[in-house]
Structure 1
């Protein structure tokens, strides 16, 4: 692979840390756990979408866009970071927010909704669950075009082949850090949502012949549907990056045991995971993605599905600002 052939903006001045989690490992009494701190990536409050936006925004600038357009849920970390990238580049940004839970949008809410306003979003369009997201963004682009402006559409989560290159690059970063640390990882665990992070990691691991299995923990969709989505995107990004061999279907694992009632809807396992990571390692997770992924990690360790002899890397994809919109659910008094 030669990722240098792709135009890229840089929003993080270096690599993100890989840290041991000795207290959580000891508490769970199983595998040796490490965490990749992609919550510390550049742009406002960090998170995994920053890696994808480095490639997507470079393409937007090359095309002469003056406005970034994207879509996400009402507390979308991706929308926050796309808006932050627009601010960094002197562009405008318009957001399309999908109410995946009916009635969930509140412009006065805390968390990312507050940051949309603080960062100066140009306009927010709220749509109902099930709306054609691409058509909604194209309508925004058409409105801009009628004003003589040029919008650049970024898919939800930045999850197309170009955006997923960010996590092909992350896989290479992890392998280099693993070598320098003298730590061989037996497994990588990551949240699996819009598929770009999961797909990019898998493609990068396979492209480097690293042989490390990647376990995705679903945050929204049933396992068969999500595995199909991730495999399709992993094949697309692998083709774009020139990965050989092709991504086999059995390299994609997307467990759906911790989704709960639905996307962004809290579960007792998520609440426990958020509180354990905070109280044992001082790490803030988010309630929608990393909280449920960490619940999966904890469940797999406790059940023995992840062996006690394994060394596991958990990828922290960010999203802590959303915690403040869930304070009533996550506080000690609420969870007692």
Structure 2
């Protein structure tokens, strides 16, 4: 079997912001693979984009901010939890493009303390020039958004609001594009079939991978739920895939090649689960790769669990998609220090 690039949807009709800098690295992880019993393990390093400390949201923002520039927008508003990686990447991208950025952040995770409230992504948001508005509840966030929109209108500024995580059908296109990039890299290595492992949170990354792999063939997809339980994540994935397919003029694809699991979600979004810190240590000690305890750490814990259960054969190629999140790790400094001291 080979990848069917001829069936891949064209993305040229969508304006982009120029944030894409070329393929992110696809690198072997032999010591980690040996520890997990997956000899042919690769890491797709979407964490090493040179803008704003990297991360998966930049692929979505390339399309969202491309649309904003095409519309003549000068102000971007987006949302997230206090330690949102999406907010930090939006702020960095807006700084590069000369756009005003307003972040409406909600204290949605049951955490407090100096590290969580003043470290991690928060100082980077400010470093990149964003206005940071911290709200206690979702209702407060809605009111703050309305206030910011009204202020912009009074100043004669044009606004584009981007959803949490950049996760809507347009944002999905970022990881449709990434799937093609990954398949081209695999083909260069002589790999004709592989299994991708990645996280599901707000959903556009997983949906883009699902739609892209459905178009290419020869790629299976294992998704770890790191934010929403399995039933909610499954519905979210289907909705985003459907919306993006419609945007691209495609028939709704079957997702028989996609498998989702929520066994490493723990108590929910932003709360490290059993196995999260051990997975971070394993990646660090074997490959010198840094994960975070919110997204990549939970997906890595799932990879460890699934490998131990015998899900992966020794002769198949497995690709772990590293979606970034490094700054957020320091928002969990006390637990992080305790984990690495063990």
User: What is the TM-score of this pair, normalised by structure 2?
Assistant: 0.91
Displacement of 1:62 in angstroms is 1.5
Unaligned runs of 5+ in 1: none
Q: 1:103 to 1:317 in 2, by over 3 A?
A: closer
Displacement of 1:240 in angstroms is 1.4
Q: Deviations over 1:94-128 (max 9, x none)?
A: 11112112464868511101111211212424232
2:332 is aligned with 1:326: yes
Displacement of 1:21 in angstroms is 0.7
Q: Deviations over 1:180-209 (max 9, x none)?
A: 11123431111100100000111111122x
Structure 2 matches for 1:235-250, cutoff 5 A? 235-243=242-250, 245-250=251-256
Q: 1:333 to 1:162 in 2, by over 3 A?
A: closer
2:235 is aligned with 1:218: no
What is residue 317 of structure 2 aligned with on the other side?
311
What is residue 95 of structure 1 aligned with on the other side?
103
Residue 170 of structure 1, aligned match among 167, 178, 181? 178
Q: Is the 8 A contact 2:79 2:104 kept in 1?
A: yes
- CA distance, structure 2, for counterparts of residue 162 and residue 223 of structure 1: 23
Q: Is the 8 A contact 1:30 1:302 kept in 2?
A: no
Unaligned runs of 5+ in 2: 1-8
Q: Is the 8 A contact 1:11 1:42 kept in 2?
A: no
Q: Deviations over 1:268-302 (max 9, x none)?
A: 31101111111100111111000000100111001
- CA distance, structure 1, for counterparts of residue 191 and residue 277 of structure 2: 30
Displacement of 1:153 in angstroms is 0.1
Helix, strand or coil at the partner of 1:124: strand
Q: Deviations over 1:237-281 (max 9, x none)?
A: 1221233x4222544433110010111111231101111111100
User: What is the TM-score of this pair, normalised by structure 1?
Assistant: 0.93
What is residue 253 of structure 1 aligned with on the other side?
259
Residue 34 of structure 2, aligned match among 19, 26, 29? 26
- CA distance, structure 2, for counterparts of residue 324 and residue 132 of structure 1: 27
Displacement of 1:6 in angstroms is 1.0
Structure 2 matches for 1:82-161, cutoff 5 A? 82-102=90-110, 104=112, 109-128=118-137, 130-131=138-139, 136-161=144-169
Residue 58 of structure 2, aligned match among 32, 46, 50? 50
Pairwise CA RMSD of aligned residues?
2.0
Q: Is the 8 A contact 2:117 2:331 kept in 1?
A: no
Residue 236 of structure 2, aligned match among 229, 233, 243? 229
Q: Deviations over 1:57-82 (max 9, x none)?
A: 01111112111100011110100010
Aligned residues: 333
